[in-house]
Amino acid sequence: MTFELIIPLLAATVQSGTPILYATLGEIITEKSGVLNLGVEGIMIVGALAGFIAAKFTGNPVLAFVLAGFAGCAAASIHGIVCLLFQGNQVVSGLALTILGTGFANYLGTSYVGQSAPGFSPYAIPYLVDIPGLGPILFNQDPLVYLTYFIPVLIWFYLFSTRHGLGVRAVGENPSAARAGGLSVSLYRWGAILGGGFFMGLGGAYLSLAYTHLWTNNMTAGRGWIAVALVIFAFWRPGRAVFGAYLFGGIMSLQLRLQAAGTQLPSSLLLMLPYLLTIIVLVFSSWKSGKSAAPAALGVNMKPTE
Amino acid sequence: MTTPAVRLQHISKSFGKVKANQDISLDIHKGRILALLGENGAGKSTLMSILAGQLQPDSGTIAIDGENMELSSTDKAISTGIGMVYQHFQLVDAMTVMENVFLGKAGSFLLDKKAMEEEVISLSRQYGMQMSPAKYIADLSMGEKQQVEILKLLHRRSNILIFDEPTAVLTPEEAKALFATMRSMADQGKAIVFISHKLEEVMTIADDIAVLRRGAVVDSMPKKSVSSTAELAERMVGREVLLKVDRIPMEPRQMVLKVENLSHQHLQDASLIVRQGEILGIVGVAGNGQKPLVEVVCGLQQPQQGEVQLLGKDWQDFFASRKWKNGLSYIPEDRQGLATCRGLTLLDNFLLTTRDGFSSGPWLQRQDARQKAEKLLHEFDIRPPDLDAFAWQLSGGNLQKMVLSREFYRQPHLIVAEQPTQGLDIAAMEDIWKLLLKAREEAGILLVTGDLTEALAVCDRLAVMYGGRIVDTFARSNQEKVDQIGQMMAGIS
């Protein structure tokens, strides 16, 4: 492949990796506190629809993007109510949330299918875009992509260098130790569920506000599940999540380009590629990491009185 | 004396019918180490959980530095300056020493790693410990983990430190270091409570000693006034007669258990026999070799050295061809974990060990089992008398009676009962003693107990264990030996 082909492919890689990155970061925050949220897919699509409708009616994409985050919080709060308030099973609750969110968004979204709304467009950053190679890949993107150059660093800093972040990790690793230290396990977990839901909502909104400016049903198309797998691939570390997200972004855009180029391979096989990669990634990361990097109390509920 | 750091007055706490603490009054002083001595189930942990704010007393008052306080939560206790080093460490394995020490403490938004490191180092120096602040908990030894727990409390400026059986997980060297740290903390004005059932340790480190038995403080004195470990042992296990059960002498018949020169883990060269028609009591402070003995006899572990014969068969043969009836029944100490499944109904729990009696081919004859079990429920007066109730719904005493009824239904010829009345109220205790006495008509019974009153009430012969050895075996009627039990248990012979 020539240089002219690779640069646009890599630029597209960053763009398609971005929504996954938002969702993965959200899931990392949630899982760090010991809560497994399998509802990412459902929360993303609720965020996507909320962002789209808000942009359509307010005409303000920035406001729409933020509102999508709060829609994500609202969807995630269902998970919080089930798991924290009623001590329900986290796996079941997450799966139900995915099904609920998808159905809800399809139901409300059907009347908007094919319609467009104002969104974000690429904005080349002066000077930086002129860096040979890197410039056109990283600095000729929309503002929401630029945000993701900072967010992982902020989340990493939050988790590992602030007192509050230490509490989140403690609650995820050993809730009874955290309790003995005087932390409120359920408050921390609520925070992590809502904060995580916010980023998942943003990831969904990226799809309807920047990736396309259109609404189509099922527009998340399994990206939420990829995010869940990527958390494991990333060993629950925000930095590695960036690489993972771009790896998947790369496969997705490559697959699109191969289809467009008219290869002999059937398109359904190409569409499988990201999910095949998901399985391979999971096998490798669980095989390589002898001891698990997962928060020790992941998926374990704790009664407030215990 | 000055105002005590903590003054407990008339503390009582019951769980259902069981009185875990009855009218306990206790002073804890600054600069002194108070040892709380008692067997498992004597109420030590309940008392300390009350002080740590985890449990609320039914009655009684707690005064800290002369001021009455209500310790309504662990947070409240922590902020009052009470800190507890639990037996199970409350540490986050995936974090460093300093992160654990600083966990949960209010402070600045950002973590100042440099300052954290310095604080951990200076605190550990101050109390004679050595600790690398950046090490991960998962890489530490048990002794070091315990030091981290202590550092957590010191960092929170706890003035009253409670250690719950702190040496159980330590090597002797680590225990020595811990004692040095405890002494250094006391010298620097902290009040220390040390919970233990190990007599030597208490004699080594304590300034004051309080002895708990069956939920009450039976004795409280400065260490100076205790003349010997033996005296302490007797005070701890007691020998007053609470109840009298009729023990009709019986002629022992054939031998059902023979242990010869058995060495296993820290059990050394143990020999004993049990015959049909008698109860042999193994008495001693817990942790002196009773557990490996029971586990080998019950087939949970293979004997390493020596010979074990059950009902005339070798250990191998016996456990290879186990029959559900007329064999061995094991009544474990842990009735909720080993003996029953808390999430199954009584009927299913009944079938756990008797299922072979209700099988035809692959099928289970539940109706048949139901009728039999129903009868047992009434016969043993188990409440609620409902086979569909779950095991967790039963009180400790009723669950224990259910286990006994099930095991007796198998008409065993050998019964191994481990602390069968621990944590039960007096009425249930009496019931169980009567059941055991009745069972010996058919069986030989090995009764492991830490309660001398129990051993004296039901046993025909007694064997005293200390340090993994059987110190002596003698008849209950041998008064001279019975009088020496305290000394034997303390390792003085």
For the stretch B264-313, pLDDT in tens is 888 899 999 999 999 999 998 877 888 899 999 999 889 988 999 999 89
**pLDDT score of B162 more than 60:** yes
| CB B186 within 8 Å of CB B14 | no
The length of chain B in residues reads: 493
Residue A305 lies in a domain: no
pTM: 0.73
| CB A49 within 8 Å of CB A69 | no
- Indicate the residue of A163, A174, A295 with minimum beta-carbon distance to B91: A174
> What strands, in cross-sheet order, belong to the sheet with B191-196?
B82-85, B160-164, B191-196, B33-37, B208-213, B216-222
The residue ranges of DSSP E strands in B409-480, in sequence order, are 414-418, 444-449, 461-466, 469-475
Per cent of chain B over pLDDT 90 is: 33
Q: How many CB atoms lie within 10 A of CB B281?
A: 26
What distance in Å separates the CA atoms of residue B52 and residue A61, rounded to the nearest whole number?
Answer: 54
What residues of B are in contact with residue A167 (Cβ under 8 Å)? 103-104
Residue A109 lies in a domain: yes
Question: What total of structural domains would you count in chain A?
Answer: 1
Residue A300 lies in a domain: no
Q: Closest approach of chain A CAs to the CA of B97, in angstroms?
A: 13
To the nearest 10°, report the CA torsion of A177, A181, A187, A191: -80
Among all residues of chain A, which has the CA nearest to that of B93? A173
Between residues 122 and 181 of chain B, which touch chain A (CB distance below 8 Å)?
A: 152
Judge whether B115 is closer than 8 Å to chain A, CB to CB: no
Residue A237 lies in a domain: yes
Contact A162 B110 (CB under 8 A): yes
Note every long-range contact of A144-151, with CB atoms under 8 Å and residues 24 or more positions apart, other chains counting: A144/A18, A144/A65, A144/A120, A144/A202, A144/A206, A144/A209, A144/A210, A145/A14, A145/A15, A145/A18, A145/A210, A148/A18, A148/A21, A148/A22, A148/A242, A151/A22, A151/A25, A151/A199
- Indicate the residue of B94, B104, B107 with minimum beta-carbon distance to A181: B104
CA atoms within 13 A on the CB side of B114: 0
At B417 the pLDDT is 94
CATH number at residue A145: 1.10.3470
Q: Closest approach of chain A CAs to the CA of B169, in angstroms?
A: 18
What residues of A are in contact with residue B105 (Cβ under 8 Å)? 181-182
ipTM: 0.79
What distance in Å separates the CA atoms of residue B75 and residue A189, rounded to the nearest whole number?
Answer: 19
Residue A280 lies in a domain: yes
Task: Give the containing element (helix H, strand E) for A157.
Answer: helix A151-161
Contact A181 B105 (CB under 8 A): yes
What residues of B are in contact with residue A173 (Cβ under 8 Å)? 92-95
| Residue B421 neighbours by CB under 8 Å, 6+ apart | B400, B428, B429, B432, B433, B449, B451, B454
Contact B91 A161 (CB under 8 A): no
**pLDDT score of B242 more than 70:** no
Q: What is the pLDDT of residues A162-173, one digit of tens each?
A: 989 999 999 999
Residue A296 lies in a domain: no
Range of the domain at A93: 2-117+128-289
| CB A116 within 8 Å of CB A53 | no
Contact A161 B103 (CB under 8 A): no
Judge whether B95 is closer than 8 Å to chain A, CB to CB: yes
Contact B91 A177 (CB under 8 A): yes
Contact A173 B75 (CB under 8 A): no
Q: What is the pLDDT of residues A53-100, one digit of tens each?
A: 999 999 999 999 999 999 999 999 999 999 999 999 999 999 999 999
**pLDDT score of B1 more than 90:** no
What residues of B are in contact with residue A176 (Cβ under 8 Å)? 90
| CB A265 within 8 Å of CB A276 | no
Mean pLDDT over the full length of chain A: 90
Residue A196 lies in a domain: yes
Q: How confident is the model at residue A238 (pLDDT cuts 50, 70, 90)?
A: very high
What distance in Å separates the CA atoms of residue B341 and residue B320, rounded to the nearest whole number?
Answer: 24
Judge whether B107 is closer than 8 Å to chain A, CB to CB: yes
Domains and CATH numbers, chain B: 6-237 (3.40.50.300), 255-489 (3.40.50.300)
| CB B358 within 8 Å of CB B365 | yes
Residue given tokens 């456990």 in the structure block: B319
Residue A113 lies in a domain: yes
| Higher pLDDT pick, B163 / B242 | B163
Strand partners, B469: B466
**pLDDT score of B353 more than 50:** yes
What residues of B are in contact with residue A154 (Cβ under 8 Å)? none
What residues of B are in contact with residue A178 (Cβ under 8 Å)? 92, 103-104
| Higher pLDDT pick, B489 / A169 | A169
Exposure pattern of B205-221 as b/e (b: 16+ CB <10 Å)? bbbbbbbbbbbbbbbbe
Which parts of B188-289 fold into alpha helices (H)? Answer: 199-205, 229-237
What distance in Å separates the CA atoms of residue B94 and residue A240, rounded to the nearest whole number?
Answer: 18
What residues of B are in contact with residue A166 (Cβ under 8 Å)? 95, 99, 102-103, 111
At B75 the pLDDT is 81
At A306 the pLDDT is 45
Between residues 460 and 489 of chain B, which touch chain A (CB distance below 8 Å)?
A: none
What distance in Å separates the CA atoms of residue B340 and residue B268, rounded to the nearest whole number?
Answer: 31
| Residue A287 neighbours by CB under 8 Å, 6+ apart | none
At B69 the pLDDT is 86
Q: Closest approach of chain A CAs to the CA of B102, in angstroms?
A: 9
What residues of A are in contact with residue B94 (Cβ under 8 Å)? 169, 173, 295-296
| Higher pLDDT pick, B167 / B239 | B167
Which one of B103, B111, B114, B150 would you mutate to disrupt binding with A, by most A Cβ within 10 Å of its Cβ?
B103
**pLDDT score of B192 more than 80:** yes
* B64-83 mean pLDDT: 86
Which one of A157, A163, A183 would you mutate to disrupt binding with B, by most B Cβ within 10 Å of its Cβ?
A163
Task: Give the tokens for residue A265.
Answer: 């391979």
Task: Give the tokens for residue B398.
Answer: 């009723």
What residues of A are in contact with residue B75 (Cβ under 8 Å)? 182
* B40-49 mean pLDDT: 80
**pLDDT score of B200 more than 90:** no
What residues of B are in contact with residue A183 (Cβ under 8 Å)? 103-104
Q: How many CB atoms lie within 10 A of CB B284?
A: 29
At A57 the pLDDT is 94
| Higher pLDDT pick, B109 / A200 | A200
What distance in Å separates the CA atoms of residue B30 and residue B26, rounded to the nearest whole number?
Answer: 13
Contact A166 B103 (CB under 8 A): yes
What residues of B are in contact with residue A169 (Cβ under 8 Å)? 92, 94-95
How would you class A254 by CB atoms within 10 Å of its CB: exposed for 0-12, middle for 13-18, buried for 19 or more?
Answer: middle
Distances (CA, A) of B193 to B25, B57, B79, B185: 15, 19, 18, 11
At A304 the pLDDT is 56
Contact A169 B105 (CB under 8 A): no
